[in-house]
């Protein structure tokens, strides 16, 4: 099927010229086009409320049959209106009179029957093709659309004067679909005022459109739907061409013809001014015919493109066919989608600069030792049957000028044990995407490579033993099996790294350390693990060291479950959780502060003294609670006996006893001076006193320790303690006793002192209340718990 198509768009030489001219004519000048797309919605009419700022409105492929002024009059910004593939039958151009900016109107593939012509003088692009009921006479007003540079029409009838309507237009491109042409009176030549002419030729073979064309002003001619007689007409037309006509691009499509005719075209096109010759969908028959190879000396032809070649015979001389192409002595040749299984090395040094053999079935045997492709700079072998990377390297080895090689979509592999690879020295860009390559590919790469595409292979990591690729600037590893971002150790110049759609869970530190100078990283769509490690990656971006393409919407957490689907950007984890050193430091600081506070309290407020007192108080209370209260002081005369040094007697008599002995007599104290029984020795009196008392209170002070007497008293008390297993001993420390002043032989006393099981006399008034309370409570106690006995036994 013929379609309006920019001429030779697939051809690398004319792409620039044509896209520029056509797009310049078509595109609105606005940069950010506000597009409203309502295509393929089964709409019966234009939606009533459309965004007023719409610049491009797409309503194609619906069921709209009628258009009204009110459909569009409020869209003052409307530049481009696409209404292709609808059921519109009638159109009055005046409905667009309010759309002052409308420049592009596509009404192709509708049912237009009548057009009422209100010339839209600002229109640049008007497509009315595939409305087969329109005739030129209906379009009489079109001649006034002076700005028009693209016009497409389908015609069933052509009368002699028809095209005079278009005489005043300066078209860039005119597309005429004449497929259903049924009436044609060709008295004169068909003269068109257009730079590019595209014609879908009639199915009716009797109309000789081609031979009636006046080619003089046409730069690009595109003919589709060519039958053999059209080819003969074209041959006749080419005969009229000379080097002075303007034709530069000739495109033929959907052409069926014989090999002899193709050779004739090849042979004769070179004599014209044509620079780019393309044939799409070519079917060749009668291959047995003999032919002489065309000679391309002194030709203006720059490129020949043949895409979708079909050979209608099974038995023919393959070599001869290949030779027809390999000897084409022009800079750019494309032979794609042609089922070729081979191509021959040119016999003479070739003029090929660009050779495209994509979409064939060519194997590793191509150009094995081919010395005649010295000028070749670009070689495209996309989608063929190449299997061995090493052989591809060897193929390029002789191509001294080769810069760009596309080997994508083949079956390439590289065995780890294969010999060294040799590549063309100038090779800087290599496309190895969509092959079967694994990690070992890095042992077989051109050393001067700058741009390397390895996407969609089976690479899981870059081996550390890879040779350094100093010139490599762009590396594409998308859609592989990487589990980590690679380091840049071997690629010092890397500017762009693409690792999207791999299995990268957390980028390792090797990447951060070696890739600091990288510009852009694409790492979208990886199953990122959002944990502490990922922060380094995010920080890299924050610090401006890398630009992450697609950030933030394409970078999502995959693990752990609870954060799945959130953007990496929104993933936060505190510094404390991630930084162990910081955590330890903080814990240590807190402990330090606590210790300091406690020490402070202990030193300045003597908390430890209070605590000790409270502890003793509770111990005492605990014992009272455990013991049987009836037993209290049953056969004892006194609650306590007090032993003290003579030097401390003032304190004992004036402070201790008055505080302990309450007036109600509930606590009775045996004091050896006071309760002295005449006739007994002092020792007997003391023993008597101890035996009659449940408690023996010893007032300890340096004086006490030095007094021999006291030690005896202590001894007795202690002795009793062993006999009755009764802890009746209360030590009361009146003044601190430095250990060194305790004579060595008093080891019992030393042991007791070391145990610190004594009550300290506080100097501060505030603490003394608690001291007395504690002491009184202790005196009330009768029995001892076994642990305390054990303690004292030491
Ligand atoms: C490599 O080839 C593939 C198709 O085969 C294409 O999509 C990709 O853009 C090419 N890479 C480069 C860098 O041109």
Cα separation, 30 vs 196, whole angstroms: 26
Q: Which atom of ligand 1 is nearest to the CA of 429?
A: 13
What is the Cα–Cα distance from 233 to 189, expressed in whole angstroms? 13
User: Does ligand 1 come within 6 angstroms of the Cβ of 474?
Assistant: no
Residue 719 confidence (pLDDT): 63
**Ligand 1 near 409 CB (within 6 A):** yes
291-295, 475-479, 642-646: the lowest-pLDDT one: 291-295
State pLDDT tens for residues 203-262.
888 888 888 888 788 899 999 998 888 888 888 888 777 767 788 999 999 999 998 888
Distance, CA 410 to ligand 1 centroid (Å)?
12
Q: Tell me which of 2-16, 109-123, 704-718 is least confident.
A: 2-16
Judged by phi (left if over 0) then psi (alpha if -120 to 50, else beta), residue 149 lies in: alpha
pLDDT at 38: 92
Pocket of ligand 1 contains residue 410 by CB under 6 Å: no
Tell me how far the alpha carbon of residue 378 lies from the centroid of ligand 1, in angstroms. Answer: 14
CA of 408 to the centre of ligand 1 (A): 7
Q: How far is the CA of 160 from the centre of ligand 1 (A)?
A: 50
Higher pLDDT, 103 or 684: 103
- CB-count burial class (<10 Å; 0-12, 13-18, 19+) for 227: middle
497 CA from centroid of ligand 1 (Å): 15
Ligand 1 centre to CA of 358 (Å) is: 12
Ligand 1: does its nearest atom lie under 6 Å from the Cβ of 433? yes
Q: Quote the ligand 1 centre to 173 CA distance (angstroms).
A: 31
Q: What sign results for the dihedral spanned by CA atoms 369, 373, 375, 377? A: negative
The count of C-alpha atoms lying within 13 angstroms of the C-alpha of 530, restricted to the half-sphere facing its C-beta, is 20
Q: Does residue 456 have its Cβ closer than 6 Å to ligand 1? A: no
* Ligand 1 centroid distance, CA of 669 (Å): 108
pLDDT, tens only, 43-60: 999 998 888 889 999 999
Angle CA(556)–CA(561)–CA(563) in degrees, nearest 5?
Answer: 45
Kindly report which listed range (467-481, 482-496, 613-627) carries the lowest average pLDDT score: 613-627
Identify which of 14-18, 398-402, 565-569 has the greatest average pLDDT: 398-402
Interval 398-450: pLDDT, tens = 999 999 999 999 999 998 877 788 999 999 999 999 999 999 999 999 999 99
Structure tokens at 331: 């800079």
What value does the mean pLDDT take over residues 785-793? 41
In this structure, the residue with its CA closest to atom 4 of ligand 1 is 408
pLDDT-based confidence at residue 590 (cuts at 50, 70, 90): very high
Average pLDDT of the segment spanning 162-178: 86
Indicate which atom in ligand 1 lies nearest the CA of residue 451: 13
The mean pLDDT value of the chain amounts to: 82
Is it the case that residue 751 has pLDDT exceeding 80?
Answer: no
Q: CA–CA separation, 663 vs 675, rounded Å? A: 18
Secondary structure (3-state) at 397:
helix
Neighbours of 436 (CB within 10 A): 14
Q: What is residue 100's predicted lDDT score, i.e. its pLDDT?
A: 87
Q: Given a cut of 70, is residue 620 above it in pLDDT?
A: no
| Span from the CA of 434 to the centroid of ligand 1 (angstroms) | 9
- Tens of pLDDT, residues 119-156: 778 889 999 999 878 877 777 777 788 888 999 999 88
| Number of neighbouring beta carbons within 10 Å of residue 696 | 25
Least confidently predicted of 308-312, 370-374, 467-471, 682-686: 682-686
Q: What is the pLDDT of residue 754?
A: 72
Answer whether 758's CB lies under 8 Å from 700's CB. Answer: yes
Asked whether 491 and 475 are in contact (CB, 8 A), the reply is yes
Residue 266 CA to ligand 1 center (angstroms) comes to 31
DSSP string across 72-120: HTT-TT--EEE--SS---EEEGGGGTT-TT--EEE--SS---EEE----
Alpha helix ranges (H) inside 606-698: 607-626, 649-651, 657-660, 682-692
549 pLDDT higher than 60: yes
Which residues pair with residue 190 across a beta bridge? 213
Model confidence at 689, pLDDT cuts 50, 70, 90, reads confident
With a 6 A CB cut-off, is 455 part of the ligand 1 pocket?
no
Give, for ligand 1, the residue of 408, 412, 452, 522 to mutate: max count of ligand atoms closer than 8 Å to Cβ. Answer: 408
- Confidence bin at 709 (pLDDT 50/70/90): low
| Ligand 1 pocket check for 384: Cβ under 6 Å | no
Q: Both tokens of residue 579?
A: 């930084």
- Whether residue 227 contacts residue 205, with contact meaning beta carbons closer than 8 Å, is answered with yes
Handedness of CA 529, 533, 539, 544 (dihedral sign): negative
Ligand 1 center–CA 404 separation, angstroms: 12
Going by pLDDT thresholds of 50, 70 and 90, the confidence category of residue 653 is confident
User: What pLDDT digit, counting tens, does each position of 180-193 carry?
Assistant: 888 887 666 788 88
Q: Which atom of ligand 1 is nearest to the CA of 408?
A: 5
Give the three-state DSSP class for 217: coil
Asked if residues 434 and 455 have their Cβ atoms less than 8 Å apart, the reply is yes
pLDDT reported for residue 24? 34
Going by C-alpha positions, the residue among 761, 662, 658 that lies closest to residue 704 is: 761
CA–centroid distance, 433 to ligand 1, in Å, is: 7
Q: Please work out, in degrees rounded to the nearest 5, the angle formed at the alpha carbon of residue 425 by the alpha carbons of 423 and 428.
A: 90
Please give the number of the atom of ligand 1 that sits closest to the Cα of 409: 5
Of 682 and 191, the one with more pLDDT: 191
Question: Ligand 1, from 356, 386, 433: best to mutate by most atoms within 8 Å of Cβ?
Answer: 433
- Going by C-alpha positions, the residue among 147, 203, 195, 146 that lies closest to residue 175 is 195
Q: pTM for this structure?
A: 0.69
Regarding the beta carbon of 498 and ligand 1, being less than 6 Å apart is answered no
Q: Tell me the best of 384, 412, 431 to mutate to test the pocket of ligand 1, counting ligand atoms within 8 Å of each CB and taking the most.
A: 431
CA of 428 from ligand 1 middle (Å) equals 15
Residue nearest to atom 7 of ligand 1 (CA): 433
């Amino acid at each position: 099927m013929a379609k309006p198509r920019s001429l030779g768009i697939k051809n690398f030489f004319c792409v620039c010229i044509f896209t520029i001219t056509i797009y310049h004519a078509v595109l609105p000048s606005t940069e950010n086009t506000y597009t409203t797309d309502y295509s393929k919605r089964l709409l019966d009419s234009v939606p009533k409320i459309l965004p007023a700022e719409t610049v491009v409105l797409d309503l194609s492929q619906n069921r709209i049959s009628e258009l009204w002024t009110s459909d569009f009059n409020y869209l003052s910004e409307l530049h481009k209106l696409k209404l292709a593939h609808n059921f519109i039958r009638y159109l009055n151009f005046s409905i667009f009179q309010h759309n002052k900016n409308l420049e592009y109107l596509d009404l192709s593939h509708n049912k237009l029957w009548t057009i009422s012509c209100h010339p839209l003088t600002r229109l640049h692009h008007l497509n009315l093709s595939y409305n087969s009921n329109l005739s030129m006479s209906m379009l009489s007003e079109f001649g006034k659309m002076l700005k028009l540079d693209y016009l497409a029409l389908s015609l069933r009838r052509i009368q002699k004067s028809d095209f005079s309507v278009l005489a005043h237009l300066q078209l860039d491109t005119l597309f005429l679909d004449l497929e259903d042409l049924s009436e044609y009176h060709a008295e004169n030549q068909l003269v068109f005022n257009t730079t590019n002419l595209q014609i879908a030729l009639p199915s009716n073979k009797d109309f000789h459109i081609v031979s009636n064309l006046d080619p003089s002003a046409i730069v690009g001619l595109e003919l589709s739907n060519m039958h053999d007689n059209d080819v003969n007409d074209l041959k006749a037309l080419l005969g009229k061409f000379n080097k002075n006509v303007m034709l530069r691009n000739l495109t033929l499509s959907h052409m069926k013809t014989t090999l002899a005719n193709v050779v004739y075209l090849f042979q004769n096109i070179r004599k014209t001014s044509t620079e780019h010759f393309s044939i799409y969908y070519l079917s060749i028959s009668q291959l047995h015919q003999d032919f002489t190879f065309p000679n391309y000396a002194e030709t203006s032809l720059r490129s020949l493109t043949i895409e979708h070649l079909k050979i209608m015979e099974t038995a023919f001389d393959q070599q001869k066919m290949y030779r027809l192409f390999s000897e084409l002595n022009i800079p750019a040749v494309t032979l794609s989608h042609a089922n070729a299984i081979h191509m021959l090395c040119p016999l003479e040094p070739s003029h090929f600069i660009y050779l495209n053999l994509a979409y064939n079935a060519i194997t590793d045997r191509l150009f094995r030792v081919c010395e005649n492709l010295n000028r070749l700079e670009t070689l495209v072998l996309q989608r063929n049957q190449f299997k061995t990377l090493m052989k591809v390297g060897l193929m390029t080895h002789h191509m001294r000028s080769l810069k760009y090689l596309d080997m994508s979509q083949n079956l390439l592999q590289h065995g780890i044990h294969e010999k060294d690879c040799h590549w063309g020295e100038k090779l800087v860009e290599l496309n190895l995407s969509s092959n079967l390559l694994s990690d070992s590919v890095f042992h077989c790469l051109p050393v001067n490579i700058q741009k390397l595409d390895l996407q969609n292979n089976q690479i899981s990591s870059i081996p550390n033993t890879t040779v350094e690729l100093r010139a490599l600037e762009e590396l594409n590893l998308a859609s592989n099996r990487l589990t980590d971002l690679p380091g840049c150790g071997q690629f010092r110049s890397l500017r762009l790294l693409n690792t999207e759609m791999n299995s990268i869970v957390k980028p390792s530190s090797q990447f951060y350390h070696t890739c600091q100078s990288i510009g852009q990283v694409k790492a979208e769509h990886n199953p990122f693990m959002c944990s502490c490690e990922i922060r380094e990656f995010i920080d890299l971006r924050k610090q401006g060291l890398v630009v992450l393409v697609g950030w933030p919407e394409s970078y999502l957490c995959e693990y752990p479950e609870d954060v799945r689907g959130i953007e990496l950007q929104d993933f936060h984890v505190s510094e404390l959780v991630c930084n162990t050193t910081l955590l330890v430091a903080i814990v240590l600081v807190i402990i330090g502060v606590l210790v300091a506070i406690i020490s402070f309290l202990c030193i300045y407020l003597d908390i430890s003294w209070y605590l000790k007192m409270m502890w003793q108080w509770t111990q005492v209370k605990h014992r009272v609670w455990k013991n049987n209260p009836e037993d209290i002081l049953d056969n004892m005369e006194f609650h306590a006996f007090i032993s003290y040094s003579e030097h401390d007697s003032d304190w004992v008599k004036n402070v201790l006893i008055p505080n302990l002995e309450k007036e109600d007599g509930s606590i009775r104290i045996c004091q050896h001076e006071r309760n002295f029984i005449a006739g007994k020795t002092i020792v007997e009196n003391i023993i008597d006193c101890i035996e009659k008392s449940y408690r023996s209170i010893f007032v300890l002070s340096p004086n006490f320790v030095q007094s021999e007497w006291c030690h005896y008293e202590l001894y007795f008390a202690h002795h009793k303690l062993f006999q009755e297993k009764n802890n009746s001993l209360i030590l009361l420390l009146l003044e601190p006793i430095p250990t060194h002043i305790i004579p060595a032989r008093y080891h019992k006393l030393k042991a007791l002192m070391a145990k610190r099981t004594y009550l300290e006399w506080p100097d501060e008034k505030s603490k003394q209340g608690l001291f007395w309370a504690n002491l009184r409570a202790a005196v009330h106690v009768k029995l001892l718990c076994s642990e305390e006995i054990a303690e004292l036994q030491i």
